[in-house]
Copies of this chain bind each other. A is one copy, B any other.
Amino acid sequence: MTSLAVNGVTCRGKVLTLDSMNPNVRRVEYAVRGPIVQRAVQIEKELREGVKKPFTEVIKANIGDAHAMGQKPITFFRQVLALCSYPDLLEDNKFPEDAKKRARRILDACGGHSIGAYSASQGIECIRQDVARYIEKRDGGIPSNPDNIYLSTGASDAIVTMLKLLVCGEGRDRTGVMISIPQYPLYSAALADLGAVQINYYLDEDKCWGLDVTELRRALNAAKQHCKPRVLCIINPGNPTGQVQSRECIEDVIRFAKEENLFLMADEVYQDNVYAKGCKFHSFKKVLFEMGPEYSSSLEMASFHSTSKCYMGECGFRGGYMEVLNMDPEVKAQLTKLVSVRLCPPVSGQAMLDLVVNPPLPDEPSYASYVKERTAVLAALAEKSHLTEEMFNTVPGITCNPVQGAMYTFPRITLPQKAIAKAQEEGQAPDMLYCMKLLEEEGICLVPGSGFGQKEGTFHFRMTILPPTEKLKVVLQKIRDFHLRFTQEFS
């Protein structure tokens, strides 16, 4: 609140300025929707207004947004959502009986039989039961308790809530949270917002973005000098790096977390997105239980899932859940209280989640179409994952690990010294310069590696593999051409 004298009149400055706002919020960064995406939106506007560009559309390969890239929703899911939205349709014989059955079950669990009523803050009970059964089935029968399931507004909401619970202390006692580098920037953003200490551990690009416990230990020990490490976050399959962790690796991580008394957060939103031969998704919970009661009865853990990824890609519904394990009952009561302040996750997102965890069964009328649609999406993603890796690795100056899973490739790019110098002059990350130029020249929107974190002196970008195959081929070709041009221009 400053006072300024302008033309003899004293006028006060704004109450809320960059200087007087929450400093933690200022520190937040979120590259996936950062300056490059803002410029992309601007360019789209310019195109609509008739401004001439070397391209006719902007391809937003910056974000894992399947439907925006043309992927069609699963028919059954949307039929049920329509029935829930407008229950008069339950009388319509165009809808299959299994869709009606699901819709009736969801509506019966809603106050006044309406998805317009608030639900319990933890989520609708029968949906939490369905989630628990889904987890049990996924994990070969290891029990899951619906009381440990919290439905959420996308996985992001649950991750932020869990981190919020965990952060305390001041100075050297401040909670430290271990996150991978490269990371998904929700984590760094949430930690900045909460004023927690971010502890970076590096994935090994030379070993297919593998995670090594030696590196975890190095990062932890270094951090102990200035904060209190309490939390270890893992993303598997990896975002932005696309690796799928082996069973051994997961065991190592669990052992490490137990030894070091860390709360484990397992971000498993890409659990259906595994493409590479020999790779398989292992849930942290399953591995934990298979390691025996010494682990399964004590390690505190939360795992996260979402309706936004996998084969359904229903991002807009903001559905998700977390399962908490071995959480102190008093803390669980606090968690329930905390989520109650926001009343409830969107009920249509809860309904969508229910369909994801409780899809048509083999003896139901919609089963065949559901399986067909699901399989087609996952097969196309697998094909695109291979295509992307192969193509990038033909370009001199681009090297690319296999996209084992998830929806992204995170190739390493060699940038000429002159380009690096130019970026530094302009106070810009070199890979931001690269991505901005690519956007301006080719209309392709990627996210620079600097937005996810990377080893000093290396440069990357994240690109989704979501565009339809033919379009993806064009995108890859354009990036190839651009990269060669860029290299030449700055040589």
Contacts and interface: CB of A to CB of B under 8 A. Distances in A.
A416 interface: no
B328 A17 contact: yes
A368 interface: no
A261 B15 contact: yes
Interface in A394-442: none
A313 B157 CA distance: 24
A14 interface: yes
Interface in A295-322: 298, 300, 312-318
Contacts of A330: 17-18
A344 to B, nearest CB: 7
Nearest to A84: B85
Contact of A166 (B16, B28, B81, B168): B16
Contacts of A331: 14, 16-18, 21
A110 B23 CA distance: 34
B68 A79 contact: no
Interface string A191-203: 0010000000000
Contacts of A33: 121, 340, 343
A340 B62 CA distance: 14
Contacts of A14: 300, 326-328, 331
B316 A65 contact: no
Given A121-B33, A316-B119, A18 B157 contact: no
Contact of A262 (B15, B34, B81, B89): B15
Given A26-B334, A85-B78, A331-B21, A343 B315 contact: yes
A73 interface: yes
Q: How many copies does the complex hold?
A: 2
Interface residues on A, range: 35 or more
B67 A189 contact: no
A168 B20 contact: yes
A207 interface: no
30 contacts: A12-B261, A16-B165, A16-B230, A17-B331, A18-B334, A21-B166, A22-B168, A30-B337, A30-B341, A33-B343, A67-B111, A67-B116, A69-B112, A70-B112, A73-B116, A78-B86, A81-B86, A82-B83, A110-B316, A116-B313, A117-B315, A153-B153, A156-B343, A193-B338, A193-B341, A315-B343, A318-B346, A346-B349, A348-B348, A348-B349
